[in-house]
Copies of this chain bind each other. A is one copy, B any other.
Amino acid sequence: MSDDEVAPLETAFGVDHHVTHAELPDRPAHEGGPDMVQLLTPEGERVAHPELDPLVEALSREELQGLYRDLVLIRRFDAEATALQRQGELGLWASLLGQEAAQVGSGRALRPQDHAFPTYREHGVAWCRGVDPVNLLGMFRGVNHGGWDPDEKNFHLYTIIIGAQTLHATGYAMGVQRDGDVGTGDPQRDTAVIAYFGDGASSQGDVSEALVFAGVNNSPVVFFCQNNQWAISEPNEKQTRAPLWHRARGFGFPGIRVDGNDVLAVYAVTAQALENARCGQGPTFVEAYTYRMGAHTTSDDPTKYRVSAEVEVWKHRDPIERYKRWLTTSGTADAAFFEAVEAEADELGRSVRERCLAMPDPDGTAMFDHVYAEAHPVTARERAWFTEYQASFEQEVAR
């Protein structure tokens, strides 16, 4: 997929739609193309960006260190979850390996009053929002379909139906508008919504409809697409002929591609997009160009469809390594800090494992709970029947 195809028909018509680009470090298409915003090279060198630099410079040393801590801790959590799955403690796990910067960068750009609508892979965003990561394991362990109250940390439930959450996010943002929580100038009040989705999801009609509704209503929502290059076994070319960030324009709002493995760039781009949303400037489409380093889920076998050389290339773009280098060379953090984070990660891993194993299986009657908010005769009757039926076994066992 090339970013710079020329439009034969439009040219034939004397209409030149070729997009003109401002100066950004040149980069071949397979590395995200010349339009990709990058603040850190894979080698950890800082690239200047006049518009975005102030956003990064506003971050304190603690905040900058915090981003690193987030990256490392969530990667550790993820590794632990993968291990738990291998040991049969989880039925499935969807690893975020490689996408930490995209998630932490965007997650940390959110304000407390903002709302995030995730797919099933946004463990890093959940972490930034303050959701206890153990709660993320419930659905993968099979003890529930969603183990947290979405309104507690403004982090909504994981959505498995691809793309659906983009409409929920847009509707939520329409609610924010009706509440008058946009453009008041009060930084504690003005609210943005962020919708996460993948490159594969971009094909779903739901996602395009979300762009339509958000555009028409000028709603405060950021569409955050993690382009991790793969939708299970299907590469980008099976989903789109144009770079995904181009999608937004035709729906009436801006799109931007950011290096998804560059936590600073993701932070800055998302912060700007969210701020525009809060101010009443409407939606933005952010494509975070990243890579799924692992399998789609623990059920998947990527050797069937992709070559290891590709994975090798992306290893050199690792989001944590690059940020660590910059923290070091810029003197923002030292070895002691890195060690402390390592220790904290070990502790997190241990605690997560322990608490996962301690998660109780729900009682069978739980399946009748919350099907309806108000009394329902069929549920009530079936629940009663089930309870009695279960009891009859226990009696038998007792006898």
Question: A299 interface residue, CB < 8 Å from B?
Answer: no
Whether the pair A240, B252 counts as a contact (CB closer than 8 A) is: yes
Q: Smallest CB–CB gap between A245 and chain B, Å? A: 9
Looking at the assembled complex, report how far the CB atom of A209 sits from the nearest CB atom of chain B, in whole angstroms.
5
- Interface pair A248/B250, CB less than 8 Å apart: yes
Is A10 among interface residues, defined by CB-CB distance under 8 A?
yes
Pairs A–B under 8 Å by Cβ, sample size 9? A9-B273, A13-B52, A14-B51, A15-B256, A17-B254, A204-B205, A205-B206, A212-B240, A241-B251
**Is residue A315 contacting chain B, with contact meaning CB distance below 8 A?**
no
Q: A284 contacts which chain B residues (CB < 8 A)? A: 9
How often does this chain occur in the complex, in copies? 2
A15 touches B24 (CB 8 A): yes
Tell whether, in the assembled complex, residue B254 and residue A242 are in contact, meaning their CB atoms are under 8 Å apart. Answer: no
A119 within 8 A of B: no
Do B247 and A251 have beta carbons less than 8 Å apart? yes
Q: CA separation between A247 and B253, bound complex, in Å? A: 11
Does A21 lie at the interface of the complex (its beta carbon under 8 Å from any beta carbon of B)? yes
Asked if A37 is at the interface of the complex by the 8 Å CB criterion, the answer is: yes
Is A50 part of the contact surface with B, judged by Cβ < 8 Å? yes
Residues of B within 8 A of A35 (CB): 15
Does A288 belong to the interface (CB within 8 Å)? no
- A9-B276, A256-B10 are contacts. A17–B251 as well, Cβ < 8 Å? no
CB–CB A241/B254 < 8 A: no
A-B pairs, top 4 by smallest CB distance, nearest first, are: A205-B205, A241-B252, A208-B208, A242-B252
A238 at the interface (CB under 8 A from B): yes
Closest chain B CB from A336 CB (angstroms):
36
> For A51, what are the chain B residues with a Cβ–Cβ distance below 8 Å?
12-14
Q: Does A353 make an interface contact (CB < 8 A)? A: no
For A269, list chain B residues within 8 Å (CB): 13
Is B216's CB under 8 angstroms from A272's CB?
A: no
Cα–Cα distance between A240 and B216 once the two chains are bound (Å): 5
User: What's the Cα separation between A278 and B235 when bound, in Å?
Assistant: 27
Residue-wise interface mask of A (269-301) relative to B, using a CB-CB cutoff of 8 A (1 in contact, 0 not): 100110010000100100000000000000000
Q: A281 near B240 (CB under 8 angstroms)? A: no
CB neighbours (8 Å) of A206 from chain B are: 205
- Could you say which residues of chain B place their CB within 8 Å of the CB of A249? 7, 17, 242, 246, 249-250
- Contact check, A13 vs B272: say whether CB atoms are below 8 A apart: yes
- Measured CB to CB, the closest approach of chain B to A17, in angstroms, equals 5
Asked if A49 meets B14 with Cβ closer than 8 Å, knowing A250-B247, A256-B9, the reply is yes
Closest Cβ of chain B to A37, distance in Å, is: 6
Instruction: Give bound CA distance, A102 to B339, whole Å.
Output: 70
Q: Which residues of B contact A276 (CB under 8 A)?
A: 8-9, 12
